[in-house]
Structure 1
Amino acid sequence: MNRKFLLLLSLTVPLALSACGKRLTMNDALEQGAQPLSGADVASMVTDKVLHISSWDKSIEADVILHDSGKLSGKNSVGDKTGGRWKVTPDNTLCLAYDDWGLKEMRCFIVFKKDDGFTMFRSDGSLDSTFTVDGLAASDLSFSGVGMGRSMPGSDSSAKTEIIPDQASSRTLVIPDEEKKKDSWWKLGLFSDNLDEEAAPADLGAPPPAPASREKRHLLDDRECAHCDLTGENLRNAELKKADLEGAKLAKADLSGAVLRGANLKKATLGGATLAGADLTAADLAGADLTGANLEGAKLESANLSGAVLVNARMVDAVLEDAVLTNADMEEANLHWADLTEADLKGANLKKSYLIKANFTKADLTGADLTEALTQRGIFDSAIGYEAPVVDKPEGENKPAEAEKEKKSFFNIF
């Protein structure tokens, strides 16, 4: 009998049998000891990795690559290919949208670690699918475990528990185990035309590395590229001290670890860019667009971010001491553990932002809008213009005070 047919039969029979079982729910997973994952854990685990995804009833399987650019490409068990988009939201959900599969709309899932795999649950708590990550075993990884509760802005989770990660465990370093790639479904040949043990993974549409553009070479050589188009460029760990990038287009560029001390980035476009760990001390980012940018752990002491757009930006552990953020738009930004000591935030928009454990000591928040911002455990010592949110007391608690007030009013008649 054909070898490939035997392989598919051996996989299909147990999968078909399992499909008859009860559909797992989120409560079931919690009772079985599964661990909900934070958005940071999910992003570090899946970026530029191959996910082997199975539907909850095992009726369809696919290998999907989640590219760092936010795009995805995949191939399912019947040979159909697709492109698409993906993202991790501040609500700690993994969102996927396939161009040619399903409803073609962005759907978001809560991810749990379970045994040596991962499960994705829909918003109603029902199991959607399971997956493993090529080269990784769930049991080998450590996670911060903040996936449940409203631990990020905008969450609509029904869970009431708020779990905040310890600073020391706010990041996860994922190191693929090359040996475990031998167990990949690609090696089994499920999605390829042969069963050769050494066969390379099928092409899922990952773009080949592009040669350095003229603008990139000019920037690295002369540190001057005002109004250049550097969209999506890889500038990781680049030495760009005092570089002139005014008005430059750097959307989705990778500037992680780059040295940009004193750089001119006024009105630069940095939407979706990665600046994790970058040194932007005293950089001028006035009017820059950093919508959805990743600034985790970035150094921004004395930086000028006046009028900058930082909507939905990730600024966990960022150092913004003495930074100027006047009239900056930081709606739904994640500033967990960020240091804003003596920062100037006059007129800043911080609506729905995540400010838990952020340090605003001696910061100027005059006129800043903190509507629906999460400020628990934040440090606001000597902050100017900050008023602690008023906590409504349960109905009836104020009645004694009201009665006493009426009593005094009555006796004042005489």
Structure 2
Amino acid sequence: MTTAVDDADARMSAFIRDPYPTLARIREASPVSVVEYGADLPVWMVTRYHDVRNALVDPRFGQDVRRSQAIANERGAGLTLGSDVVHMLNSDPPDHTRLRRLIQGVFTRKRVEAMRPLVERIAGGLLDGLRGHPTIDVVRDFAFPLPIMIICELLGFPPEDLHSYRTWSTAILTRGSGMSFEQATTELNAYLRELMALRRSSPREDILTDLVRARDAGELTEQEVFSMVFLLLIGGHETTVNLLGTATLALLHHPDQQAWLRANPAAMGMAVDEFLRYESPVSMATMRFTTEAVDVSGVEIPAGELVLVSLGAANRDPSRFTDPDRLVLDRDDPGHLAFGQGLHRCLGSFLGKLEGEVALGGLLERFAGIELAADEATLPWRNTFMLRGLESLPVAVTGPTAVRRG
């Protein structure tokens, strides 16, 4: 049978600050639980590692956001799930197959490794810009600009518009940001139309030019170009911002692990996998729906139900990971589900890991000491349970690039 989760137990503000106690209770209570999503919309939540991994690859859990929106509309929820922005992450084959095929070559392991000099150059430049500051904001000064500058370089977007990209991204992905989802998508689409017109008249060697050519060849609709750029621009930086912020905070919480990593910099790749497991940047996978009745460890989810798949809960499941609530950087177990699994596994996983390795390695190399420079209780977390990330992380730094001011 299922377990209805008490409202007080899942109150958003407490959940966003520390979701793991609540996720643990849900995971222990039943293989599948019924929770409320938004305004009184009941959805089913899968939380155990084995079940989550299976759900991610099971085609009976559809991801076409238009069908998810239709189900929500039938139940009078009054929720907008983003059905006007259809991209690889929220579509099913054959659309998903066609869309992914057009772009996946850019993000192969080999192509991404060739980007290492670019990532190192941008990370190094940002760190150089922090020279002489005894206190920095890891998120605002480093974690945000690094991946957005990289994805803008790949797309061919003007770097001077970084603030606009962040404003649109925040409005689209979080609640109460000051700009509505509709306004953000309208402004982003208008911006893209201008850039697409420029690429038609002056092509470049970038992803946007390739997408415009695909549109003109009839391989993509104009709306699909918008949605593809939307996914690459927002998905291409949001997850890395979250990874770098929460990883740095985890190192502050675990000085023994920070000391170990400083002494073993060659282990950064393994460490990044543990950071991804410990604090999954995408805590909840994209909304799914059942195309037919599905049995999940003895619990039947009927056809036509909305389903959430909790990556954050799965990655803290004690049946899969020993002592899962502890950060163990030499765990050497890359079995986390932070990038998803199956057809929808994160296209940018290689790039995200590379960015994490270079950025965290650079941060530790440049600063001999890092200490939290704020009351942890006041640290602002992203106001969404789909993502797990900080909006700000002030730290005091000492080392070669820090100059103490009297």
> TM-score, with normalisation over the residues of structure 1?
0.20
Structure label with greater radius of gyration = 1
For CA contacts below 8 A with separation 6 or more, give which structure has more relative contact order: 2
> TM-score, with normalisation over the residues of structure 2?
0.21
